[in-house]
Amino acid sequence: MARRTTSNSPGGPPGSSGSPGSPGPRNRTPQPLPGRRRTAGDFVKAFLALVALLVLLVGVPGVLATQMGWPLPSGAPKVEWLQQEITVDTFINVLTVVVWFAWAQFTACVLVEVKAALSGVGLPNRVPGAGPSQLLARQLVAALLLVGATAASFTPGLSQLGRQLEGNQRPAAAAAAQQTPGGLLGQQREQAAASAAALAEQAAGAAAHAEGGSGARASEGDTKFYRIQPPEGRHHDSLWEVAERHLGDGRRYKEIYQLNKDRTQPDGSKLSEASLIRPGWIMEMPGDARGGELVEMPDEAPKVSPEVQRQISDYARTGGAHQQGGDRQGGGSGTLDRDTAHISLPEQRPGPGQGQGHDQSGQQGQGGQEHAAPPAGEGSGFGLPEALLGAPLLAAGLLGALGRRRRQALWQSALGAVGGRRGMEPPTPTGAAADAQDALLAGADPEGVRLLDRSLRGLAASLAGESRPLPTVYAAWLSGNGDLHLQLAQPAGRPPTPWQLGQDQTFWMLARADAERYEDVDTAAPYPGLVSLGTMDDSRLLLNLESVPGIVSLSGREQDRAGVFASVAAELATNGWSDRMTITLVGFGEDLTPLAPNRLRHLDDIEALVETMEAETRQRRGALGAAGQDSVLTGRTGPAQHTRWAPHLVLLAAEPSAEDAVKLAELAADAGRLGIGYLVGTDSGDLPGAAWEMEITSEGKLLAPLLGLELDAQLLPVSQQRAVVELFTDADPERDDDRPTTTPPFLVDISEQGRPAVYARLVGPYEIIGLETPDGERSPLLHEALALLLLHREGVHPRVLSSALWPRGVTDDVRDALVERLRGWLGSDPDGTPRLAADATGRLKLAKSVVSDLDVLRSLYHEATQGRGTDSRAVRGRLLTDALVLVRGPLLAERPAGRYGWLTHEIIDAQLPLLVADIGLALSAFHLEKNRAEKAIEALDAALGSAPGDERLWHELLRATHATGDSDRLKRLAADLVSRSGARGLPPRTEALLDELLPTWRSGVAAVG
């Protein structure tokens, strides 16, 4: 016989929040509460609902039948009908048919809603094309049955349908033990009461079996079962809360999942995802489960309804073989959940070549142990923003976007005046912006971004070659050793080589060594919606927002959520593994749009968002249908892959109202198939339609108990967000302000008295004059460190220096030892001042006695155009000639392979050609003033050697050649330009200039060719 204790007995959960230290959410059903009393208003609503249903279901067809008659013809259609005149009666008959169809559709909606309410199992079916009709039917049925039970019991699919009925709000902590999914009227209501009483009597008996240990299964006669309860308002039962109430720890939900996975439920479906359970399902519980809602079967339980008792008995007979299989797989509290909706940490299993991989990592670069990877808690950040230092993919994206912005400013500036224009030297950041830039330089992992991008595109190309669709990917994990793990929504067979199956059929894994062999492929980015959320056990999680089957909700304090939203927005806007996308920001982020104006857009309110997304959802559904595709994934592998199916990710920081939340839930129901993702903030943690729920804590932890996640969150706090935005706005080429013309950061004395103590030649092959070449294997490191310092006269942060020389990390003592060697190699000036010292901010700076030819080149041009050369033509000519002589080739030519990777972060590769082109143009103009065309041509040819793609140089060369009066020479030059232009043809401005200087150039080019 079943035994009874109260739910707050010692066998119950300790408090309202589960076991102490539990990281999960609070227990929403801590203790039973009395049922809601029916008021007179409830009975009035029920009566009005009954009247409305009678009018709509009986009155409408009665009026149609008696007043309008049967509108359909009594015989078979004839051709003559098409030739008859359309009269008023014809029009009325058509309208009558439409009304009959609307009545039939509404009747079907009522039947579907009544069936779902009475069964209490599963979700109400959707009647095709009956959104408003079904909503009205649901409201009327719920109001009618409100007097018998809570209306929430009749809508088990609230999380999917997103509709909340007026008058059915009950406290979220109402006891689930007082309800059964089918307890509605008459005998079913009696069965509900009997079931509740029987379930409440099981706590004492359950406590007797607690000694069995966590996760242990009791004997068949002592096995306990739990029946999933219907929703209470916006709260839905979950395995986490079941485990929290009956096992004392929500994290033990995996044990329940393993006991019941893939077993057939009473409604014929199966448990395949730990986060997707339905009211009325039966869960076998571990032997130490306790609480007043459990049933011991097949022991006698006379107060449990016969139907429920039969279902539990049938379910109990299916558990033996399955449990044995689960044990063989290592089920229990320590088992890793293999469910695809459960984002699992990939197993770090040693592969055949993993030992070699570690050796390669340790020997990366020069110097043996100096290049060992840093420990987990590597040294001080020297005051740099730790959030950016710990976000390598975000930092790489921001750094790449910032470099493109600065190059764009340089190129646009090149269209201005030849001398003294603003933009040749980007403004040097200061304060928080300088710290943010250093953190980006020190924390960025551009190689990791490159490998991730190539790996994903290579996978897409391989699958397309095998005529296989792209699998749906929920998440990607980047392990500490650089391996990439993709977690699939469901098994998709064996992956193409060199990918391998991971820990189970839902994991595809690519080793870093295999990823490094991938080449660039011309295919669309398959998973552009991946975004970093944080780290767990040295592995970084990227969640695919685009694939989530619904809304991802984020709860927590507003200031904590802001850091997550800003990080997600910034990485999506600048990442290197996507082609095109739209990111819509609502409730935050208006100041973030400078990061990527082509991707980021800001909407003022949720109303505008709903209107926009309704239109886009319809458009995408139509486009997919017209293309014959079932999802954006299949569309990306087709012939239109570069023009369609770009994701649209919505980040809504402000909690929506109940009405707006319902609308968003409806829009998100089919979003995963359409390439649309929603991340929505909420204060309470309860959001209709939320498929995955996450919480950010004040300690920086990102929790998602039902997904099995507890991450160190990736954040972009407000202060660092402002500093990053300042870097972008200062580099904006469209910015119109009153900043003065920028000058080089370091000007040298170009007179004979200004001879430096140490002179490095960087423009061309790397040479150093004034220092002895250091001996041993450290010489390349010292040369590279000196080159970095010479290109940054404003100073280099020690963390930036170490990350540039050792991209995979290095310990602090190794870095400090190199700095000391560099200081000793450079020596001191005659007055005893070290040539390498740290400034007040800790940045390493070179003394003025250490100079590069790039410093001299900038100083000569500045003096010629803004200094003494402006007043003396002879001085200007000499300075420009001396500057052009310094150009011996590209920057750091013949540098060792595998080193100087930090140059990819720099814009010097764009600055130097522009500077050389400006010098050539200025010297050409100097000679043309005296009609020395040949001298001008000589200067332009010299500049073209370093800046062959500068259109301005070619234009001036055409004018100088035209000034010689040699038409044949001009024709040959035009033919050379046409051959260089290739299939794209000449730029419009070049064609216009040729039309002016050589009207017959087209025929002349053909003749020369």
Q: pLDDT tens across 454-512, in order?
A: 999 999 999 988 989 899 999 999 998 889 999 998 899 999 999 999 888 999 999 99
Pairing of strands 844-846, 709-713: unpaired
- Tell me the pLDDT band of 303, cut-offs 50, 70 and 90: low
Residue 202 exposed, middle or buried by CB count within 10 Å (0-12, 13-18, 19+) = buried
Q: Which residue has the tokens 């990736």?
A: 714
Q: Flag whether pLDDT at 786 surpasses 50.
A: yes
How many angstroms separate the CA atoms of 757 and 848, rounded? 9
- CB 240, CB 18: distance < 8 Å: no
DSSP H helical ranges for 83-186: 88-119, 131-145, 158-161
pLDDT of amino acid 763: 93
The first and second tokens of residue 494, run together, are 């064996």
Average pLDDT in the 231-240 region? Answer: 67
How many angstroms separate the CA atoms of 654 and 554, rounded? 10
pLDDT of amino acid 79: 64
pLDDT, tens digit, 9 for 90 and up, residues 183-218: 323 333 343 344 334 333 433 333 333 333 333 333
pLDDT of amino acid 104: 85
pLDDT of amino acid 266: 83
For residue 296, list its beta bridge partners: 224
pTM here is 0.65
pLDDT of amino acid 644: 60
Q: Peptide bond before 171: cis, by omega within 30 degrees of 0?
A: no
How many angstroms separate the CA atoms of 807 and 789, rounded? 17
50-54, 340-344, 873-877: least confident range: 340-344
Residue 513, SS3 per DSSP: helix
pLDDT of amino acid 595: 93
pLDDT of amino acid 770: 92
pLDDT of amino acid 49: 81
How many angstroms separate the CA atoms of 940 and 945, rounded? 9
Average pLDDT in the 905-920 region? Answer: 89
- Amino acid in the structure at residue 646: A
- CB 916, CB 891: distance < 8 Å: no
How many angstroms separate the CA atoms of 309 and 489, rounded? 35
Query: In the 8-state DSSP scheme, what is residue 59?
Result: I
Residue 960, SS3 per DSSP: helix
How many angstroms separate the CA atoms of 97 and 461, rounded? 53
How many angstroms separate the CA atoms of 610 and 190, rounded? 44
How many angstroms separate the CA atoms of 944 and 924, rounded? 12
- Residue 476's φ and ψ, nearest 5 degrees, are -130, 140
Instruction: Tell me how far the alpha carbon of residue 579 is from its chain's centroid.
Output: 13
Q: Which helix (H) or strand (E) holds 224?
A: strand 224-227
How many angstroms separate the CA atoms of 384 and 381, rounded? 5
How many angstroms separate the CA atoms of 923 and 940, rounded? 8
pLDDT of amino acid 810: 85
Residue 691, SS3 per DSSP: strand
